[in-house]
Amino acid sequence: MKKKVFVISILAVVFFIGIIGILCTNKKTKNNADNRTNSYTPNGISTFKTNEEITNPENVERSPENVNIKIDESSISPESISIMITDTNENHYGWGVEFRVQEKINGEWKELEYISDDIAWIDIAYELSTDGKLNQKLNIEKYYGKLDKGIYRIVKSVYDNGYIDIYSNEFEIR
């Protein structure tokens, strides 16, 4: 029993030392006179952003009106669908995995319910290609089950001084 308590105590000390180290590193980085963060793009080009640009995305000029989400008509199925996001803003929005599905019922858009209350999304951001486009295949069945016959649209949220929903064109499951 004493050995178990000793091991747990050692693990707790190591954990707290690690937390202190992380906090000190973050403070040192924040106070760095250079105040820049290196960001790598898929093509290997390195760009630098100031901490102000990273922590205050609302300073970035962009508009949701410059974004289009289009359904790939050849990909429509009750289980999945592919979308093409086109963002013509100079400073693109960040695009994650999360999406929602709405169904048109009696002329009104209704949010579909997830198949479980235990849904988790990976927290990852995809970069757009140089032409400002991103293809995403959405696994609808994983989150909603198979779609019934009807008219639907995809909803993606972006952060722009608060979260804003951007809607795809509608599509039909036959």
**Whether residue 95 is found in the same domain as residue 169:** yes
Is the pTM higher than 0.85? The answer reads no
**Whether residue 82 is found in the same domain as residue 21:** no
Domain that holds residue 22: 2-55
Q: Express each pLDDT in 86-144 by its tens digit.
A: 999 988 888 999 999 999 999 999 999 999 888 888 888 888 888 999 999 999 999 99
Helix (H, G, I), strand (E, B) or coil at 49: strand
Query: Given the DSSP bridges, would you call strands 80-87 and 67-71 parallel, antiparallel or unpaired?
Result: antiparallel
Position 78 confidence tier, pLDDT thresholds 50, 70, 90: very high
**Whether residue 31 is found in the same domain as residue 82:** no
Could you give the number of structural domains in the chain?
2
Residue that has been written with the tokens 């008219």 in this structure: 151
As a whole number of angstroms, the distance between CA 65 and CA 68 comes to 8
Q: Express each pLDDT in 38-66 by its tens digit.
A: 343 444 444 444 444 443 455 668 899 99
Residue 13: φ, ψ to 5° = -65, -45
